[in-house]
Structures are given as structure tokens and as C-alpha cells.
Amino acid sequence: MTNDLQERENRLVGRLSLDRFRPGLVVGAGLTGLVALVFFYAWGIQLRDGIGVAGINRPVFWGVYITTFVFWIGISHAGTLISAILRVTGAEWRRPVTRCAEAITLFALSVGGLFPILHMGRAWKVYFMLPIPNSRGLWPNFRSPLMWDAAAITAYIVGSFLYLSLPLIPDMAILRDRSKGWRRRVFGLFALGWQGSAQQWRSLESGIKVMAVVIIPLAVSVHTIVSWDFAMTQVPMWTSTIFGPYFVVGAIYSGIAMLMIAMALLRWGMDLGDYLSDKVFNNLGLLFCAMTLAWGYFTFAEHLTVWYANEVAEARVLWSRFTGKWAGPFWTMVIVNFVIPICVLPFRWGRKPLPTALVSLGVLVGMWLERFLIIVPSLELPRLAYTLGDYTPSSIELMVLIGSVGLFAFFYFAFTMNVPIISVWEVREGWEHENSHSGAAAAAAAPQTDARTPEPAGGGS
Amino acid sequence: MTRWGMVVDTDRCTGCEACVVACAEENNVQTVGEEEAKKGRAMHWLRIERAVEGTFPEVSVKFRPVMCQQCGEAPCEPVCPVYATYHTDEGLNAMVYSRCVGTRFCANNCPYTVRTFNWFDPEFPEPLDRQLNPDVSVRVDGVMEKCTFCVQRIKEGQRTAKGEDRDVEDGDIQPACASACAAQVFTFGDLEDPESKAAKLSKSPRARHLLADLGTLPGVIYLEDQEWNPGTDVS
């Protein structure tokens, strides 16, 4: 039985093929790296010439940058939150998904976290927002939702990093034991002296459990606070009591979409179909479908109440979305975010890799539009209508948007090149559970002292 | 205690915009040029809103100067992450340009849309650079600015009074808009001093706040027969 497990592990590590040159990944990283350069080029121009190179104006003081910020922070809810919920509820099929989901979180946060700095008029003064003791006795204003943002996102990045790193330790040890030379030393460094002792396994398991429980409220709070950047104001159609949960639902929705695309690409590009199996797509597809309904419900509730109450300033914003200037993007959003998913995802054929990936692409576009439509029309139509606004994104803003996608993808390619994108030990632990359930032979198996093998969590019963 | 306030009698306003010019001259407000102004980046701290009533030939035009309302409960203040905008003891919404990092959150949350932003470094081409007011700092790109009730004139008035060993008297201090207005639309003074002209006018039955139902408690009081919101009915 141990030999069989070993063979299966060998096959998985072989598929991940971290020791071989993989042209697909290298080309992908190279191309997306070039796109990422566009991001820094555009930001450089903006730092040189002034924030005026963006299309924002008075009264539309926020535009593509804040939209994209919310978009990426939303994407970050894919990984950690889903992985944590599945871990806490003990869903066995999660095992191949966790790592590639958690990586999305970390990189989406890293990219999204740049935007609040990028959108500042004076990005080089960002340290004014840090609570650094200074001679003027000035402290950041913790009444500002932007400070809550900074605190929540920082906590979430740290938490996600720990939550991604902890389960990486045994995998790094596996790679260390399988490599030679400098690679062995590098992997050994990241394995943090992992020997696979019972004590180490106990510490790791409890660490992961604690992080999984901590990360769920953290993730919920992050996007709630992002929504409060809007909901705490007096701006028409921003000040809404349901924005917290509405944004959290939208975030998870877009996060699953990104995860579905990443999983489909990994499956095709690295031949991981045995692990990221149809069953995994089917189960995540069901969650995806549930989030479609939840998002549709919130969107309906939000617009219906504003329409019915018909308050002057809010109704103006509403009709600019329904039939006015922004009707095109609005109805596009409704179609790609609700109509298409609801026609595909409830069916078993719709939860296969290709259909879900295509639906997910639409959802990503739709969720970006959703944030744009929340931010821009409200700012274009302030209460004193003498100062009506008009906003068109500038080329710099679009370059930053596209570049940020490149930056995210570059991080993800680079990560996949260097780290097992499927958690080897967790998948192996799953096989052990299967075996121990399926036969007495497993229960009678010799005690494991192998450095790479966890003790069966259930005590082998 | 002092609460600086301004009473604006819209029925006296002729729409000549002398106040707008005076404000820009006094406060070193940059002129952004045609292209930028088209993008909605004109920087006036004070604007004249217009509303046309009736149909030709029975037409009349109403004017309303709108500047920072110096709210008592200012929506712009709590949202600033760095205290670049804060409330002074004298009821002013102060702007600390050197502290501003340019998140523009204050401007989004201002229901009066009176805050302006420096999208680029200001340019004062010859000979405009020779008439900059030395009492007012020139702002750099990336910071927010807005009407200050000419705080430099308030300070000057207080210094003069102190030098003469007396209290500031009503009418000592005049913001640039008020001193430029031929029609005497603006009355500036201490709203907490019941004897001041501004405080007395603010008790007028014609007195009202702009967007009063938002509860921002503005320090600017308009004298007009009824509140009007130009543009609301324009589709």
C-alpha cells in the first residue's frame, strides 16, 4: 500500500515537473511579464507628469483606478476564503484546489494593494497614512474608511501569506528530498527544517486549523470595509446599508470565476485532469451557481428599492444606468453576470471545465463593470446638478488596468514554475484517508516514519 | 467663541463674477487653460450657478454664488485618512495642503462639489507670476484645495486688532469675494456674535441652507425665497 501511495505521489510530482524546463510556463511568464511592464510604464508617466494624465476630473474624482482596486480585492476572495471554508467543513474534494486558490488570493491582493497608492495625487507621501510617531504629533485619521481599508488589507495580506505558507512546508520538504545540489539547498531553506515528526505534524495541523478559522472573518471584513469606502458617504446610491454583504458576495463570485479560469488553464496546460477533475469542477460549479443567484438577488434588491423610493438624486443615478448614458455597460453586466451563468451553471454539462471557464470570463468582465457602474454614475450626478460630470477613461488608466492583469498573471506563472501548484502532501493525505476507509489492509499498515508522510488524521480507523 | 459665517443674498447678485476673479487673485488659484477646463478641471473656489426661469420673452435669470459651505458637520472631514482637512476652533474647514496625499475622498463626499484638485503642477506664466499673493501658499500637483473664507485675511484682521489692543470688530474682516462685490451680496462675520450683521441677517425669514436636509450645518446662509437647484429638472 505504501508503495502504491509512493507511486501515485511520484506521478503527481512528475506532472508538476518543477525540475524540468516547461516552455509553456516560461513563455506565459515572459508574455505576461511584458504586459506587466505596461503597468509600471503607465504609472511612471503618471508619477512624472501628475495624476492629471488619468481621465478623472471634477466631480468624477474616482474612476478606473478605484474600480480596478475593488476588482482585485474582490478576486482575492477566491482563494483563501473558499479554501478555508472547505477546510473547516472537511470537504475532501478541496485537496487539489487549495493551493492554486490561495495563490490567487495572495497575488490578487498584491496587485490590488498597489491601486490605493497608485490613485493618490501624491503617491510618494503614502507614509502619511502610517501611524509613525512624529514631531508634529499627527496620527492617521482612524475615522476614515480609507484607514480601515489599509488596516484590513494589510491584515488580510499577512494572514493569506501565512495561510498559503504553512501547508507549503511539507511540500518543500518533499521537493528537498527529491532534488540535488543547489535546488536541494533552496528547497531545504523553505522547508524550515521539516522532518515530518509527529510533533511537527501536530503543530502544522493546528496552525492550519487556526488560520483557516481566522481567515474567514478576516476575508469577510476586508470586502465589507472596501464597500464602506462608498457606503459611509452621502453620495447618491453609494450610501446603502446592504453594500457590505453585497460586496462580499460579489467578491466571492468574481473570485470563483478567477479560480475556475486558473484551474481550467492548469488542467489543460499541465495535464492535471486527474487531480483537478470533473468532480472538482462540478462541485465548485455548484458553489459558483449559488453565488450567481446570491449576486442576482442583491443586485435586484439594491435597484428595486432605489427605484421604488424614487428619491430625486438617487433616481437620477439609477436611470443613467437603466436607460441613460451607462445603459450599455449596465445591461452587458446583467447578461454576463446573471443571464448567461444562470442558463449554463445549473446543468451538469455546464459545470465542465470549458463552459465554466467561458462563463467565468464573462463574470470577470461583468464584475469589473459592476464596480465601475457603482462608482462613476453616482459621481457624475452629484446632488447640486450645476456640476454635472462626464468621465471617459484615459489611455494611461486603461494601460494600468491591462498591465495589472499582466502583473497578476506573471506572479501566477512564476509561482507555478517554482512551487507545487497542487498541494502534494494534502492530496496524498486524501489518498490515505480513502485507503484507510476502503480496507483493513490500510489499518494494519506499518507505522509511517517516512519524512513525507503525515500521520492519518483519523487515527487510521 | 467664534464661528465665521457668510450670508449670501442671491436676490442682489447680478452674476458679474467679480467675486470669482477676486477669489482667484487673492488665493493664487491656478488657471488651467481651455483643454483642462473642458475636462472639468477648472479650479474656481467660487462659482456662480445660474438658473433661467420662464420662456422667451418672459425670461429671468437667477444667480447663486457657491463656495465651500464651511459645514459644522462636514462630510469631507472624517473621510480624510491624514487629517489634511479638519475643523478649527473658529468653525472653519481648514485645508493643510502639505498634509494632503490626494485620495480625493473629501471631494467625493462633498455634496456641494466645491472642492477642486490640482491635477498638474500649477503654472503662472509671465506676468501672472508677479501678482501672486505672498500671504497664500501656492499648491503643488496632487493636493486638494477649496475656499478658506480667506483665512489669511481673518488672521490679518485678528493680528491687527491684537496689535491695537482691541477685539476684532464686525466688518473688520472681508474675504476677497465680499470686498469685490459691487452689489453687496456677501456679508461676512461671526455668527456667534448676536450683534454682528451676518448673525442678524441669518435670522431672516428668507435665510436657508443649501441642501439643508443633509444635516451638514453649513456656515454659509443663503437669502432666497425658496431653494432652487439648477439642473435638476434639466434632462
CB-CB neighbours of B166 under 10 Å: 10
User: With an 8 Å Cβ cutoff, is A125 touching chain B?
Assistant: yes
Q: What is the pLDDT of residues B57-75, one digit of tens each?
A: 888 888 999 999 999 999 9
Contact B83 A145 (CB under 8 A): no
Q: What is the pLDDT of residues A252-272, one digit of tens each?
A: 999 999 999 999 999 888 888
- CA A99 to chain CA centroid, nearest Å: 12
Q: What's the whole-number mean pLDDT along residues A110-138?
A: 91
Q: Which grid cell is A454?
A: 503525515
Q: Which of B101, B117, B211 sits opposite A383 (nearest CB)?
A: B211
Residue of chain A whose alpha carbon sits nearest to that of B105:
A61
> For A78-82, A320-324, B176-180, B218-222, which range has the lowest pLDDT when averaged over its residues?
A78-82
Q: What's the whole-number mean pLDDT along residues B34-53?
A: 90
Residue A125 has pLDDT above 70, yes or no: yes
d(CA A420, CA A433): 21
User: With an 8 Å Cβ cutoff, is A145 touching chain B?
Assistant: yes
Angstroms from B234 CA to nearest CA on chain A: 9
Residue B234 has pLDDT above 80, yes or no: no
Q: Which residues of A394-430 are buried (b: 16+ CB within 10 A; e: fewer)?
A: bebbebbbbbbbbbbbbbbbbbbbebbbbbbbbbbbb
Q: Which carries the bigger pLDDT value, residue A375 or residue B56?
A: A375
Residue B173: half-sphere exposure toward Cβ, Cα within 13 Å: 25
Residue A440 has pLDDT above 60, yes or no: no
Residue B131 has pLDDT above 80, yes or no: yes
Q: Which carries the bigger pLDDT value, residue A271 or residue A320?
A: A320
- In the beta sheet, which residues pair with residue A384? none
Residue B41 has pLDDT above 70, yes or no: yes
The residue type at A10: N
Residue A449 has pLDDT above 60, yes or no: no
Note the pLDDT of residue A347. Answer: 93
Q: What is the pLDDT of residues A156-174, one digit of tens each?
A: 999 999 999 999 999 888 8
Which A residues, 354 through 393, put their C-beta within 8 Å of a C-beta on chain B?
379, 382-390
Residues of chain A with C-beta less than 8 angstroms from the C-beta of B142? 50-51, 120-122
Q: Which carries the bigger pLDDT value, residue A173 or residue A360?
A: A360
Interface test with B, best of A125, A226, A235 (most B CBs within 10 A): A125
Q: What is the pLDDT of residues B144-164, one digit of tens each?
A: 999 999 999 999 999 999 999
Q: What's the whole-number mean pLDDT along residues B112-137?
A: 92
Note the pLDDT of residue A439. Answer: 57
Contact A121 B78 (CB under 8 A): no
Q: Which carries the bigger pLDDT value, residue A295 or residue A181?
A: A295
Q: Given the C-alpha cell 443586485, which residue does it identify?
A: A299
Residue A101 has pLDDT above 50, yes or no: yes
**Pairing between β-strand B144-145 and β-strand B186-190 as defined by DSSP bridges:** unpaired
Q: Given the C-alpha cell 463593470, which residue does it identify?
A: A369
Angstroms from A225 CA to nearest CA on chain B: 13
Residue A273 has pLDDT above 90, yes or no: no
> For A114-123, A276-285, B99-108, which range has the lowest pLDDT when averaged over its residues?
A276-285
ipTM computed for the complex: 0.92
Interface test with A, best of B41, B105, B145, B235 (most A CBs within 10 A): B105
Q: What is the mean pLDDT of chain B?
A: 91
Residue of chain B whose alpha carbon sits nearest to that of A231:
B109
> For a pLDDT cut of 70, what percent of chain A falls above it?
94
Q: Which of B40, B99, B214 sits opposite A58 (nearest CB)?
A: B40
Note the pLDDT of residue A428. Answer: 83
In 3D space, the residue among A248, A261, A170 whose CA is nearest the CA of residue A207 turns out to be: A170
Q: How confident is the model at residue A363 (pLDDT cuts 50, 70, 90)?
A: very high
Residue B124: half-sphere exposure toward Cβ, Cα within 13 Å: 16
Q: What does each C-alpha distance from A389 to A360, A379, A381, B76, B224 come to in angstroms?
A: 33, 7, 7, 19, 26
The residue type at A244: G
Q: What is the pLDDT of residues A2-55, one digit of tens each?
A: 678 788 887 788 777 676 777 888 898 999 999 999 999 999 999 999 999 999
